[in-house]
Amino acid sequence: MKMTNAIRIVLIVTFSLLAFGCGEKLDLRRFPTTAVNDPVPVRYIPLPWGASPKNSFNRPTDIIAGWDGTFYFIEEGASRIVNLDASGQVIGVSRSIRKPMAIAQTRNMQLLVTAVDTFRFQGALTERAVILRLNLVDTTGGVPRRRNLSDVIPDTVYRHPITTAAQANANVRYTGIATFFDNSFIVSRIGAIRSENPAVASNAILFFPRGFDVNSPNPALQQPGAIPLRVNGNGYGFADSVSSLTTLAVPPQSPDVNRSFDFLFTTVVPTQPLKVHRIRFVQSSAGDVFAPDESLLNQNAAVGTRFISEPNRFSRPSDVSVSGNFIFVVDSEQNKFYQFTAQGVEGVPPPPNAPDRRNVIVSFSEFGINERNPDRLDNPRGVCYLRPYLYIADTNNGRILRMILTTDID
């Protein structure tokens, strides 16, 4: 597959440790500590949503920070998309969507959702994976206006092709979706047919070019291409059973949006010891290629004590996202949130007064003010970050958590 106008990718946005101020000082001794390398309290603590203190949803899963400054997540138990504003107020819900799995947003404010539809194949009603688009901008009269999510009728961008009984029985699903700076996007695909031939295999990562349209007069825009990664095996960069993926083009909207075709993905293959992978897109005179970025495999003990590349570090990573110089992962089986630098070092740089200059671990599985019975994550399946807050879709607890990283607050 050939890409033009490629752009280099480096995680360049600066992330700084955050202090949270309010009417009276917050005593961090009320919060149980997570593992840290020094006595200075550095950890995530939960903050209430001002507009929705109850914050009760029906199995929230994938969540994204939108380019419009609001948040979108899949409410799996209600088969719909929910839109929250920055205060936590529900400002819109979509019409019913059959088995939504992953969500993304283009920079021109179109939501992309992976889901399924049904059709009759050889006399039997069959499900197949689809990609839906929800256009949130109304240009009637030439004046762009925001549309309420509930008013948008989803249209189908792409349907998984099924022409044989084997394909119909492969249970293909699109598990992840993410957009690049130019509104092209990638989708992870899983299913029962295993082959190194991307034209046959269920497992693949598909690339949808900018302007993709199955009805386009341009044949190059009518079908997605398969990113040439191996899918069968346990090697680094093998795209087998991908559970989530992310590009480096993330909000906030600005001229400095990352203009790269690099991406990260997670796998849930039990025998795969490394489950978070980074793929780099390289342009050269010999051609344009995607290749595993092995920089994540380096372990610099002078900077940190734990690393993203430790074998069997994750059990079932359900979502990965990035922001600036950091990578965020939630593991639905371990019930845990992890934070790493772009170089794969776990944690964040320590405060200036910390005697240990290695990264401070801020990953967590539990939190709260009751040290004997702390609040715990239960099957977290979505994570995103929009400065200064971290957001986690805590699926079995039916909530979207809003967290903030604290330093030196007493």
Q: Which residue range(s) make up the domain with 318? A: 53-358
SS3 state at 133: strand
Say if residue 308's pLDDT is above 80: yes
Instruction: Give the total number of structural domains in the chain.
Output: 1
- pLDDT tens readout for residues 123-133: 989 999 999 99
Say if residue 193's pLDDT is above 60: yes
C-alpha span between 107 and 110 (Å, rounded)? 7
Q: Taking CA 196 as the corner, what is the angle to CA 192 and CA 198, rounded to the nearest 5 degrees?
A: 80
Q: What is the pLDDT of residue 369?
A: 65
Give the CA diameter of the chain: 70
Q: What is the pLDDT of residue 37?
A: 41
One-letter amino acid identity for 129?
Answer: A
pTM: 0.88
Strand 110-121 to 102-105 pairing: antiparallel
Q: What is the mean pLDDT of residues 212-232?
A: 93
Q: Taking CA 57 as the corner, what is the angle to CA 56 and CA 59, rounded to the nearest 5 degrees?
A: 135
Q: What is the pLDDT of residue 397?
A: 94
Q: What is the pLDDT of residue 51?
A: 61
Residue 3 · residue 258 · CB < 8 Å: no
> Across the strands, what pairs with 404?
45, 389
Q: What is the pLDDT of residue 353?
A: 80
> Across the strands, what pairs with 155?
133
Q: What is the pLDDT of residue 227?
A: 93
Residue 177 · residue 104 · CB < 8 Å: yes
C-alpha span between 100 and 96 (Å, rounded)? 9
In a domain, 12, yes or no: no
C-alpha span between 221 and 362 (Å, rounded)? 43
What is the dihedral sign for C-alpha 126, 128, 130, 134?
A: positive
C-alpha span between 362 and 353 (Å, rounded)? 17
Q: What is the pLDDT of residue 232?
A: 82
In a domain, 279, yes or no: yes
* End-to-end Cα, the chain, rounded Å: 55
Residue 91 · residue 76 · CB < 8 Å: no
Backbone angles phi, psi at 249, to 5 degrees: -90, 100
In a domain, 405, yes or no: no
183 backbone φψ class: left, alpha, beta (φ>0; ψ -120 to 50): left
Tell me the two tokens of residue 4.
């033009």
C-alpha span between 43 and 390 (Å, rounded)? 12
Tell me the average pLDDT of the chain. Answer: 86
Say if residue 25's pLDDT is above 80: no
Q: How many Cα atoms are found within 13 Å in the side-chain-facing hemisphere of 60?
A: 25
CATH of the domain at 283: 2.120.10.30
C-alpha span between 359 and 123 (Å, rounded)? 59
In a domain, 386, yes or no: no
C-alpha span between 38 and 361 (Å, rounded)? 10
Q: What is the mean pLDDT of residues 369-387?
A: 89
Buried/exposed code over 302-311 (b: 16+ C-beta within 10 A; e: otherwise): ebbbbbbbee
Nearest to 6 by CA among 238, 201, 251, 284: 284
C-alpha span between 339 and 321 (Å, rounded)? 10
Tell me the two tokens of residue 200.
């046959």
Q: What is the mean pLDDT of residues 367-395?
A: 90
Say if residue 344's pLDDT is above 90: yes
Tell me the two tokens of residue 13.
């946005």
In a domain, 314, yes or no: yes
Q: What is the mean pLDDT of residues 85-105?
A: 95
In a domain, 385, yes or no: no
In a domain, 9, yes or no: no
In a domain, 393, yes or no: no
One-letter amino acid identity for 334?
Answer: Q
